[in-house]
Amino acid sequence: MKSPYIQPWTPDWAQRYRQEEAQLSILLGADIIAIHHIGSTSVPAIGYAKPIIDLLAVVRELEAVERHDAALAEFGYEAKGENGIPGRRFYSKGGEVRSHHLHVFKEGAREIDLHLHFKHYLSAHPERACAYGELKLELMRRWPDDRKLYQEGKQPFVNELVQEAEAWAATERNNKDGGMLS
């Protein structure tokens, strides 16, 4: 069973993201619309994360990205298909010692907003981010060698945070629209 090993947050993760984002932008070229740093390594206030950089790529067409699978493989990314999320293309880098996850969605996919709202909500609410980090530490102490139990242990809180993030994003959107429904 793989360990859920987490580490204290480090600014090195932001640098690793920027380096990877630059390389992926070159590799994927005109097929990419945007690349975002997501996940726990993108939110310093969480305090702890597995040292795996999560990148979210927004593309015009998923099929276009699949044409880059060979180039991505040369760059170290293994194509995993949807990997449990319909409409996503997932790639991992680093083999057994993963260093990066690349989540690719077609523009307009709901999952893009879910990931970005989660990140921005936790960045704007450091007390909730810190609570998430503390939960991660507790779960790692409780199940140091069982990633499945670690994931299952944090999922109810993650679900709660996702709901909070969606409500917060809706309020933010409403405030930007001057209180008018669009």
Render pLDDT for 125-159 as a digit per residue (tens, 0 to 9). 999 999 999 999 999 999 999 989 999 999 999 99
Could you tell me if residue 182 is inside a domain?
Answer: no
Could you tell me if residue 25 is inside a domain?
Answer: yes
Could you tell me if residue 24 is inside a domain?
Answer: yes
In angstroms, the Cα distances linking 110 to 38, 41, 100 are 15, 22, 22
- Give the Cα separation of 60 and 159 in Å (integer): 29
Q: What pLDDT, on a 0 to 100 scale, did the predictor assign at position 176?
A: 81
Sign of the four-CA dihedral 158, 173, 42, 96: positive
Three-state secondary structure call for residue 182: coil
Could you tell me if residue 180 is inside a domain?
Answer: no
Q: What pLDDT, on a 0 to 100 scale, did the predictor assign at position 179?
A: 57
* Residue-number span of the structural domain to which 32 is assigned: 7-171
Could you tell me if residue 63 is inside a domain?
Answer: yes
Say how many CA atoms lie within 13 Å of 44 toward its Cβ. Answer: 5
Tokens 């140091």 correspond to 144
In angstroms, the Cα distances linking 46 to 20, 55, 122 are 22, 17, 8
Could you tell me if residue 179 is inside a domain?
Answer: no
Could you tell me if residue 1 is inside a domain?
Answer: no
Q: Do 127 and 140 form a contact (C-beta atoms < 8 A)?
A: no
Q: What total number of domains does the chain contain? A: 1
Per-residue pLDDT 10s for the chain (182 aa) are 565 589 999 999 999 999 999 999 999 999 999 999 999 999 999 999 999 999 999 999 999 999 999 999 999 999 999 999 999 999 999 998 999 999 999 999 999 999 999 999 999 999 999 999 999 999 999 999 998 999 999 999 999 999 999 999 999 988 887 655 44
Q: What pLDDT, on a 0 to 100 scale, did the predictor assign at position 77?
A: 97
For residue 41, what is the domain's CATH number?
A: 3.30.460.10
Could you tell me if residue 167 is inside a domain?
Answer: yes
